[in-house]
Amino acid sequence: MPGFPNLDSAKLSVLVEFLVSGKSKELARSEELHSSRMKYFFTGYDKFLDADGYPAVAPPWGTLNAINLNTGEYVWKIPLGEYPKLAAEGVKTTGTENYGGPIVTAGGLLFIAATNFDKKFRAFDKSTGELLWQATLPFAGNATPATYQLHGRQYVVIAAGGGKDLKSASGGVYVAWALRDKPGQK
C-alpha cells in the first residue's frame, strides 16, 4: 500500500495519538482524516453470511489438512469444527472458522483446538486424520497448544479464552491433560 502524502502534520499528529493512546474521540472529531481525499481507508471485516448467520457458501467452512511437503499433495483433508445448533439437527461436518494451530507429538498425535463455536480440543492420528479423542473446553481454544514433560510424563495444554464468538462467554483458563502411554509401552 502506498504512503499517504496528503497527510499534513496536524493529521499525522491525530493519527499517531490514536495509535499510541487508542483514544478514538480525537480521531472521530477529525473530519480531515476521513476526507474524500484519502485514497485508502478501513471499514472493518465484513463476513458473507446467510440469513441464519452461517457462511453463505457451501461447507466445509473450515478444514484441517495434512500436506506431503515433498510432493505438495494433500495426504488428508477433514472438516474441523461444528456449529452446535446445526450438529443438534444432524448436520455435523460443516467445519467452522479456526483461529489457532496444531501441534504434533513424537508419538504421531496431532492436537488442535482452534474452533470458535463447539469449543472442542481434539486429537487426531497425524497419518490418517482419524479423530482419536476430543474434549469440550470451558471457552474456545483460539491458540496453539503446547506440550511438556514433568517427572517423565507428557502433558498437552491449551489456553482457552474464547472471544471470537460474540454469542458465547469469554474467560481465561489453561487446561492440561496427561498423555497415556500406548498399550505395551511403559
| Residues 36 and 106 placed together within one structural domain of the fold | no
DSSP letters, 83-151, are: -HHHHHTT-------B-S--EE-TTSEEEE--BSSS-EEEEEETTT--EEEEEE-SS---S--EEEEET
Rounded to whole angstroms, how far apart are CA atoms 117 and 115? Answer: 6
| Residues 36 and 67 placed together within one structural domain of the fold | no
| Residues 71 and 129 placed together within one structural domain of the fold | yes
| Residues 67 and 156 placed together within one structural domain of the fold | yes
For residues 9-19, give the mean pLDDT. 77
In which domain, by residue range, is 149 found? 63-178
Number of domains in the chain: 2
Grid coordinates representing 15 are: 493519527
Determine, yes or no, domain membership for 126: yes
**Strands 63-67 and 146-150, bridge-based pairing:** unpaired
| Residues 81 and 113 placed together within one structural domain of the fold | yes
The per-residue pLDDT for 159 is 96
Considering the chain, what percentage of its residues have pLDDT values greater than 90? 62
pLDDT-derived band at 1, boundaries 50, 70, 90: very low
Rounded to whole angstroms, how far apart are CA atoms 74 and 96? Answer: 20
pLDDT exceeds 60 at position 74:
yes
Q: List, for residues 45-69, the tens digit of each pLDDT value.
A: 788 899 998 999 999 999 999 999 9
- The overall average pLDDT reported for the chain is 86
Determine, yes or no, domain membership for 49: no
- The structure's pTM equals 0.74
pLDDT-derived band at 15, boundaries 50, 70, 90: confident
| Residues 76 and 147 placed together within one structural domain of the fold | yes
Determine, yes or no, domain membership for 50: no
pLDDT exceeds 80 at position 39:
no
Q: List, for residues 107-133, the tens digit of each pLDDT value.
A: 999 999 999 899 999 999 999 999 999
Contact yes or no for 98/114 (Cβ under 8 A): yes
Report the CATH number that the domain containing residue 99 is assigned in CATH: 2.40.128.630
For residues 19-44, give the mean pLDDT. 60
